[in-house]
Amino acid sequence: MKRWTCLLLAALLLLTPAMAIEQPTDEELKISAPSAILMERSTGTVLYEKNADEHMSPASVTKIMTLLLIMEQLDSGQLAASDIVTASAHASSMGGSQIWLKEGEQMSVDEMLKCIAVNSANDCAVAMAEHISGSEEAFTKRMNDRAKELGMENTQFLNCTGLTDDPGHYTTARDIACMSRALLAHPRIREYTTIWMDTVRGGRFSLANTNKLIHAYPGATGLKTGYTQQAMHCLSASAERDGVEYIAVVLHAESSKARFADAATLLNFAFANYSLYSIAANTVIPPVRVRFAETDSVQPVLSGADAIVVRKGTAAPQTDITLDEDLCAPLEPGAQVGTVTVTDSSGDTRILPLVVPDGAARISTAHLWLQLLRAL
C-alpha cells in the first residue's frame, strides 16, 4: 500500500499544472543551440524555451526513458538491483558507446544501471530491455506507451538506445524535459547519474561520466548526454541547490563544449533569478465543519504540489481560501472540501484543491446519544 501511495503522489506531482511565468528573451540568455528548454522540476514550470516543440533526433538522450522504465521496475519491486542480467548476442552486437559485453556475460542490474547512466552503454541498455520485456522491440513499445502517459505528444522511439539517425526516431526539448522530470522523481537515480568515475567487472573496467557538468557544475544531479552525426551534441542537464532542482535541455549544439556552456547558462539563470514559494508553509488553512461527523471539524490539506516558482525580488503571492459550506458526513478519504486561489505578482492565478486525506466518518446513533448525555 505504501508503494502505491508513493506512486500516486508522484503522478499527482507530475500532472499538476504550473503557473505561467514571464520568460527571458533569446538576447538576454544567448543560447547558441537551435532548441532548448529550462524547467523547474517539482512544479514543471517552464522558465525559458527556444523551438522546444521542434522534432529532433535525441541520440543517447533516448536512454532517459530507458532508465525511467528500469527505475519504475525497481521501485515497484518487480526488479531488484541484485538481479543478474545475461547479455544476448543482440545486446553484445551494439556499436557506439558500450562496455563490450560478450554474449552470455552476466552482470547485476546495479552494474548495468551504472554503465547506462555513466558510460551511456548501448549494450547494457539493450540487455536490460530484453531482461525486462523479453525483446528490445517489446521494451520500445513500452517506452512509447509511457511517453503517451506522460503527455509527450511529439515523441516516437524506435529503439532503447538512440543509436540511430532514422527520422522516425524523434522527440523534442519539451518532451525530454518531461521524461527527465519523471526520472528525477525517483531519488535513487541520482546515485548513478552523479557518479563521475567508477569501475565494473571487479575493478577491471573503468567508467567516466559523459556529462562533464557532474564534475564541473556545483549541484549537478545528472542527467544524460547524446551524440550522433545527425543529432549533433545533445544534453539533458539537471542541478539542485537549496532544495530547488532545474532541468536544462539543449539539442543539436555544434560541439560538446557548446552544449555544456548552454546548459550551464540556463541553470545559472534559473538559480540567480527564481525561487520556490511554499504555499502550505505560508498559508494558515482553517479546519472545516462537517455535520453529523464523529468530530465537529476536519483539517483540510493541499492536494498535489504546494509550491510555485516566483521571480526573486517580487512581492509574495496572495492566497484566498474558500471552504465548502454545509458539508455532511460521511466524506470519502481525499474528498475535496475547498480551494486555495494563488495570485502571483504578475496577476496570474492558480487554483489548488483542499482535501481531507482521511475523510470524515458519520457519527453512529450510540455516539450521538452519548454526546447528548454528556451535554445534559
Please list the active-site residues: 60, 63, 120
Q: Position of cell 513500452?
A: 142
Please tell me the distance from the alpha carbon of residue 351 to that of residue 337, in angstroms, as a whole number: 13
∠ CA 241-255-53, nearest 5°, is 70
Q: Are 289 and 356 in contact (CB under 8 A)?
A: no
Beta strand segments in the chain, E = 35-40, 46-50, 84-86, 106-108, 197-200, 205-208, 220-228, 232-241, 244-253, 274-278, 288-291, 297-298, 301-302, 307-311, 318-323, 327-328, 335-343, 349-356
If phi over 0 gives left and psi between -120 and 50 gives alpha, with beta otherwise, what is residue 3?
A: alpha
